[in-house]
Amino acid sequence: MNVFGVDIGGSGIKGAPVDLTRGDLAQARHKVLTPQPATPDDVAGRVVEVVSHFGWSGPIGVTFPGVVTGSTIRTAANVDKRWIGVDAGKLLGDRLGGLPVTVLNDADAAGIAEMSFGAGRGREGTVILLTLGTGIGSALFRGGVLVPNTELGHLELKGHDAEKRASSKAREDEDLSWEHWATRRLQKYLEHVEMLFSPELFIIGGGVSRKADKFLPLIEGITAEIVPAQLQNNAGIVGAAMAARVG
């Protein structure tokens, strides 16, 4: 069965029909730029563009980089604040001519996909996926079941929002070496999260996970296994489509 998945990110909005049996894209994805500012109306217009590109009419799952309860956006740390309080499922559904739309947090979507088709397959203990990008997203699983909206990127680290210190953007903005970022920022963050949750596995996602060999070997003293995500770029799209099927 195919379901459509859309991943709304800070710079791009991408989507494709997803083959839920294989956990992979059924067709090459289509990507458009995220409008700046990324207001609800303008983003909705771009989502319609992505969906129309495939002439899709069926269920759709959409990720959002903030807390989502039901289909209402509750926080917007790195996107336009006008999203807060918006029922994104209704907004997008209306703009898509009444197609059923499921909305969920971006890291939760990536986590769902990794647990079924990637690095978390068959893992029943506590698993935490962390996406290191503009912010830090988190997805927490126990017995394969997601606890949504954990927002572990906003834990406090040395008096700062953790994502401001340990995200991939922090490394780039502050021009940190891989070693400095890995050993002083990511290491401290993982220690803190491990102290709180004692997971058996950390899955590291986000674009930077493609370069995992540059920083994961530098992390020391964490009891949990730490592995890069396997689905990488498409985890959000696949997870969104999976959530739409079950949601």
Q: Binding residues for ligand BGC, per CB under 6 A?
A: 65-67, 75, 77-78, 105-107, 131, 133, 135, 137, 151, 153, 163
Residue 244 and residue 47: Cα distance in Å, rounded? Answer: 16
Minimum CB separation of residue 87 from ligand BGC in Å reads: 17
Minimum CB separation of residue 113 from ligand BGC in Å reads: 14
Q: Which two tokens stand for residue 232?
A: 């990488």
- Which one, 2 or 149, has the nearer CB to ligand BGC? 149
Minimum CB separation of residue 111 from ligand BGC in Å reads: 10
Quote helix, strand, coil % in the chain, to nearest 5. Answer: 40, 25, 35
Residue 29 and residue 229: Cα distance in Å, rounded? Answer: 19
CB neighbour class for 109 (10 Å; exposed up to 12, middle 13-18, buried from 19):
buried
Residue type, 19: D
- Which one, 2 or 167, has the nearer CB to ligand BGC? 167
Minimum CB separation of residue 64 from ligand BGC in Å reads: 8
- Which one, 50 or 77, has the nearer CB to ligand BGC? 77
- Which one, 91 or 155, has the nearer CB to ligand BGC? 155
Residue 64 and residue 149: Cα distance in Å, rounded? Answer: 11
DSSP label of 14: E
